[in-house]
Amino acid sequence: MANGEREVGGDAPAGGFVQLLTPDGERVDSVTTADGTTYTVDFTDEEYRELYRDLVTVRRLDTEATALQRQGELGIWASLLGQEAAQVGSGRALRPQDMAFPTYREHGVLYTRGIDPIMPFGLFRGVDQGGWDPNEFKFNTYTIVIGAQTLHATGYAMGITMDGKTGNADGEAVIAYFGDGATSQGDVNEAFVWSGVFHAPIVFFCQNNQYAISEPLERQTRIPLYRRANGYGFPGVRIDGNDVLASFAVTRAALDQARNGQGPTLIEAYTYRMGAHTSSDDPTRYRIASEVESWKARDPISRMKAFLTKQQLADADFFEDVDESAKKLALDLRERVLAMPDPQPVTLFDNVYPHGSPEVDAQKAEFERYHASFEGSH
Ligand SMILES: Cc1ncc(C[n+]2csc(CCOP(=O)(O)OP(=O)(O)O)c2C)c(N)n1
Ligand SMILES: [Mg+2]
């Protein structure tokens, strides 16, 4: 079926998208897009169950983070609520050697890379830089500057090509995450140009959650975002971003093409930000409740649960076990966040340059003297 002809239960945007699991939990065997590519998945029963576990776990961790922020334990939180399938599906589609470049909302992808979920919490609590070793986990640090990571990812993808690490089935590939709003940034345009021209081994994964803070999608584009890719000379595919199977299938295929030397792909994951932009935002000021309600019916987790139940792949005990272990992880996370030590103010100057700098050292010394001047005073 052509991408342009597909209508799925009235929930597909005009122009259609790749969907392998309907909101009611019905499995679509395969989808063939207008360019003749057929997408499907071939999971074992256990793999289906594990995907469900991932979805529930990342949502539970996110819920805990939102609660921590509301209790004053985090300065800010950028919730992934509603975007679990886009993130878990694409994250699990990465092969171990693939490198990911996230924004600030990719907690679900981070989880699939095997990073301890505590890692970004220092950043949101304001007690450290929120870092991990990008090379160890093949997951770059969070980027707040909208769109900037698409350029970093493009440079990295061109670099691994020059290093001879691509061009075969075992090669490396790169994925860059960004939002619908980011597509209006110059950086993303430049990343598309360079990747297209240099045939870089990269997948651009755009989570179109319909908003850039308060700005709706129609303020970013007159055409569906995935069609932008045509202008840069590489394929664009739109997927149901609330379908973990479609997210896996299309990302896996695009990454494999990239590693085989067939150049970039733009994936538009059509989804919805169910929560606020961040905990500092009040979405009731710019969107109506009925819109949020209509997206609840397309929830990524309930459709997977419906599928597992209908196919008799899981029973009540399984679902209870998943909920319980997710809760345990979340409560453990909470305890560890509360126990994070406050940093000494002077550590602000650490890690500015890898090998130090006389200027920064001088500023640090002055800062220490200044703080010492308060000693003994009240
Ligand atoms: C270069 C730059 N400009 C502006 C901002 C402020 N800002 C933070 S998030 C955001 C909206 C991003 O929207 P989108 O790309 O759709 O991602 P989403 O937050 O919806 O995941 C903006 C404008 C920023 N962080 N960086
Ligand atoms: Mg957005």
User: For the segment 288-335, what is each residue's pLDDT rounded down to a tens digit?
Assistant: 999 999 999 999 999 999 999 999 999 999 999 999 999 999 999 999
SS3 at position 171: coil
**Looking at the whole model, is its pTM more than 0.85?**
yes
Give residue for tokens 């505590």.
118
Q: What is the pLDDT of residue 4?
A: 39
Residue in 218, 216, 144, 222 with CA at minimum distance from that of residue 187: 144
User: For the segment 163-190, what is each residue's pLDDT rounded down to a tens digit?
Assistant: 999 999 999 999 999 999 999 999 999 9
- Residue type for position 219: R
Distant-in-sequence, close-in-space partners of 290: CB < 8 Å, separation ≥ 6:
none
Distant-in-sequence, close-in-space partners of 167: CB < 8 Å, separation ≥ 6:
161, 259, 260, 261
SS3 at position 77: coil
How many whole angstroms from 179 Cα to the centroid of ligand 2?
5
Cβ-contact 249, 40 below 8 angstroms:
yes
Ligand 1 pocket, residue 180 CB under 6 Å: yes
Active-site amino acid positions: 273, 277, 286
Q: pLDDT tens, position by position, for the chain (378 residues)?
A: 334 334 344 578 998 999 999 999 999 999 999 999 999 999 999 999 999 999 999 999 999 999 999 999 999 999 999 999 999 999 999 999 999 999 999 999 999 999 999 999 999 999 988 789 999 999 999 999 999 999 999 999 999 999 999 999 999 999 999 999 999 999 999 999 999 999 999 999 999 999 999 999 999 999 999 999 999 999 999 999 999 999 999 999 999 999 999 999 999 999 999 999 999 999 999 999 999 999 999 999 999 999 999 999 999 999 999 999 999 999 999 999 999 999 998 988 988 898 989 999 999 999 999 999 998 886
Pairing verdict, β 265-270 and 38-39? unpaired
Tell which one of 76, 109, 146 to mutate to probe ligand 1, the residue whose CB is within 8 A of the most ligand atoms.
Answer: 146
